[in-house]
Structure 1
Amino acid sequence: MSDDDGIWDELAAREPIDPATLRLVLKDQRSWSRQWVYPVARPISNLLVAIIRVVRRFVPMRLTAHGLMDALCVWFLRRFVSPAAGELLIRHFIVETNLLAFIARNTGLSEPTLRPAALRELGNRAVIEHDLNVFNILRRAGVPAEERDTSMLTVGPIDAEPGTRRIARLDIQSALCLMNIPFALCLNAAEYRRAVQSLRLDTHLLAVIADLTGDPVFRTWAPAGVALRVDSRLEVPRAVYEHAVICEYAHERLLRNASRPATVRRVAGLEEPVAV
């Protein structure tokens, strides 16, 4: 067994993620494109997006091309991204919607319903709706209900079109780097800034879930830094990937807590009651 095999085995044993999803993540991380394409795609994407954003600051009109962006996204996923990476991307939309629906249902809000099940469903303004849902739910979260309902935490079958003939099979991080370019080009400055800042709200998302469940473990996954800033230097593809992993942690933790209601769990080495 190589040293690399040992590292992946250790990750597989310790990551608090749904086992089937973890296998997809590890397969994706060990792919050839993650090793060879991502290191090249990352600086190219950062440079092109920076140029696009600077140029768009001098364009007086708030030009958008949402339809073009959606069409390019679906076409790219079908032809250049591996089915495993495509499934992970679709799953993220479902998982984050589940987390927001958990908050909404348990604080008396209307629940978001954005749960695409196939690649083609990502072409219906899914990215924009996804970002708006995060802001709307976290801004309006109210008084918790007496009983916690976790019945919305389900993920149905996902069709990433594994039978579609692909030109390449890129990993999820390489795909995010390349997809960030048309996002920056097709969204106006305010929309792109809102999408970037939605990634900064993980701290608030986890804090609300921690308060609702009484489980402080959720707060330990908050990203480093503070949310109260407009971060123009945030590396969006990397932040999106880390955001998706954090959402997977929280989703799996909620499911595990739901299967062990009203019990005492060991938290940070101490016995503490955790209500779910």
Structure 2
Amino acid sequence: MDRTPEFLTQAHDERDPSPWLALYLDQSTPLPDDVKAAWLADSSSGSRQYLLPFLRPIARLTIILIQIAKVFVPRNWSHSILLHRLLAWGLKRFVSPEANWLILRHFHLGSQILAFIGRNSPAPVATNPLEPADIDALKDEMFLKHDLNLFNFVIRLNTALRDRGLALCKAEKVDFSMIREPGLRLEDMPQGRLNFLDLQSAIELFTPLYQLMLTDNDFWRAANSLQLDETIGIYAATILNAPEHLILVNNKHPLVPLSTLRAGHRLVIHGLSTEMLHSLLQRMQAAHQKAENAGQPETTLYEQPLA
């Protein structure tokens, strides 16, 4: 089935320009063309336009009601395995191919970014990569492990730096070897008649379920892991000595916890930030290889434009 977005097949009308085509052609946001096309196709879908405005307030009200109900439930009540089986079932049967592709990519890209920081730190630390090959692989508590990985990485990295009296700094020779395309294909995602739900609607629907079937600690940690976007962005920018690349990473201050009611929207921002940071690393990797092939000194590498 051809998944070319409609805005790429229609002729440009100057009296009625497509906002999606403008965003696709714009190069100020660093994303590969195939990722940007999938993201905008998902964002311009009828599901997001007509269904999301109704789902979002219902989902947020449900979060409030579940929080009240959990006052009367044992604190450690949790059904993580069942949760992940339900999430995988829902993704396979109701979520659009573009959204599923972006979700699976997120685990791979996040793992690569953590590996990049861990390996280029003056006190290198190991990571636990999560690289699901398909939606069924998510049943292995992949969403919960993703949140645990992030916090454990920040703790291990900074413990190692503190123990050696070091601080994260610009790497003299940057290792990009872990940065690569995940190898996941959009055409391999489920494409049944009911696979219509866009990414944001799916996240809004799944967030209350996530809250219901995990402990309060696990849900709170998942919601507040989103505020580490700036933290991870700062780590990468410090290693690369390129602070200007943090401008599009904006998921609120990590020291100011936010309400879980907006977790769905912020999770979308988290996914997009990860895609953009990975794309920037790919561009720098290409510039690094080009400079090496030309015999250019390493010290001038990051003074080059990335476009």
1:239 correspondence with 2:230: no
What is the Cα deviation at residue 61 of structure 1?
Answer: 3.4
What is the Cα deviation at residue 26 of structure 1?
Answer: 1.0
Q: Which residue number corresponds to residue 151 of structure 1?
A: 177
What is the Cα deviation at residue 163 of structure 1?
Answer: 4.8
Question: Residues 116-138 of structure 1, C-alpha deviation per residue, up to 9 Å, x if partnerless?
Answer: 12111111010111001111222
The residue type paired with residue 303 of structure 2 is V
1:80 correspondence with 2:106: no
Asked if 1 retains the 8 angstrom alpha-carbon contact of 2:115 and 2:127, the reply is yes
Q: Which residue number corresponds to residue 98 of structure 1?
A: 112
Question: Residues 218-260 of structure 1, C-alpha deviation per residue, up to 9 Å, x if partnerless?
Answer: 3222315422122225501100001111111111111111211
| Residues in 2 aligned to 1:44 and 1:113: alpha-carbon distance in whole angstroms | 35
| Residues in 1 aligned to 2:302 and 2:257: alpha-carbon distance in whole angstroms | 40
TM-score (norm 2): 0.81
What is the Cα deviation at residue 139 of structure 1?
Answer: 2.4
| Residues in 1 aligned to 2:191 and 2:36: alpha-carbon distance in whole angstroms | 23
| Residues in 2 aligned to 1:156 and 1:219: alpha-carbon distance in whole angstroms | 23
The residue type paired with residue 90 of structure 2 is F
| Residues in 1 aligned to 2:83 and 2:204: alpha-carbon distance in whole angstroms | 15
TM-score (norm 1): 0.90
Residues 6 and 106 (structure 1 numbering): CA distance in 2 closer, same or farther, change over 3 Å?
A: same
Bigger mean CA offset, 80-89 vs 214-223:
214-223
| Residues in 2 aligned to 1:123 and 1:60: alpha-carbon distance in whole angstroms | 24
| Residues in 2 aligned to 1:210 and 1:234: alpha-carbon distance in whole angstroms | 30
The number of aligned residues is 267
Q: Which residue number corresponds to residue 61 of structure 1?
A: 75
Asked if 1 retains the 8 angstrom alpha-carbon contact of 2:92 and 2:190, the reply is no
Q: Which residue number corresponds to residue 18 of structure 1?
A: 32
Asked if 2 retains the 8 angstrom alpha-carbon contact of 1:70 and 1:122, the reply is yes
| Residues in 2 aligned to 1:182 and 1:224: alpha-carbon distance in whole angstroms | 23
Give the share of equivalent positions with the same residue, in percent: 30
What SS does the aligned partner of 1:259 have? helix
Bigger mean CA offset, 219-228 vs 46-55:
219-228
Please show how residues 130-169 of structure 1 align to structure 2 within 5 Å: 130-141=146-157, 142=161, 146-158=172-184, 161-163=188-190, 165-169=192-196
| Residues in 2 aligned to 1:172 and 1:245: alpha-carbon distance in whole angstroms | 11
What is the Cα deviation at residue 104 of structure 1?
Answer: 1.2
| Residues in 2 aligned to 1:109 and 1:148: alpha-carbon distance in whole angstroms | 15
What SS does the aligned partner of 2:149 have? helix
Residues 121 and 54 (structure 1 numbering): CA distance in 2 closer, same or farther, change over 3 Å?
A: same
1:212 correspondence with 2:212: no
What is the Cα deviation at residue 17 of structure 1?
Answer: 0.6
| Residues in 2 aligned to 1:197 and 1:61: alpha-carbon distance in whole angstroms | 19
The residue type paired with residue 264 of structure 1 is E
Bigger mean CA offset, 185-194 vs 152-161:
152-161
Q: Which residue number corresponds to residue 203 of structure 1?
A: 230
| Residues in 2 aligned to 1:4 and 1:126: alpha-carbon distance in whole angstroms | 43
Question: Structure 1: which 4+ aligned runs deviate by more than 6 Å?
Answer: none
The residue type paired with residue 194 of structure 1 is R
What SS does the aligned partner of 1:158 have? coil
What is the Cα deviation at residue 88 of structure 1?
Answer: 0.8
Please show how residues 113-132 of structure 1 align to structure 2 within 5 Å: 113-132=129-148
Q: Which residue number corresponds to residue 45 of structure 2?
A: 31
Residues 4 and 126 (structure 1 numbering): CA distance in 2 closer, same or farther, change over 3 Å?
A: farther
1:9 correspondence with 2:21: yes
Asked if 2 retains the 8 angstrom alpha-carbon contact of 1:206 and 1:221, the reply is no
What SS does the aligned partner of 1:174 have? helix
Residues 136 and 146 (structure 1 numbering): CA distance in 2 closer, same or farther, change over 3 Å?
A: farther
Q: Greater Rg, structure 1 or structure 2?
A: 2
Query: Where does the alignment leave 5 or more consecutive residues of structure 1 unmatched?
Result: 268-276
Q: CA RMSD in A?
A: 2.0
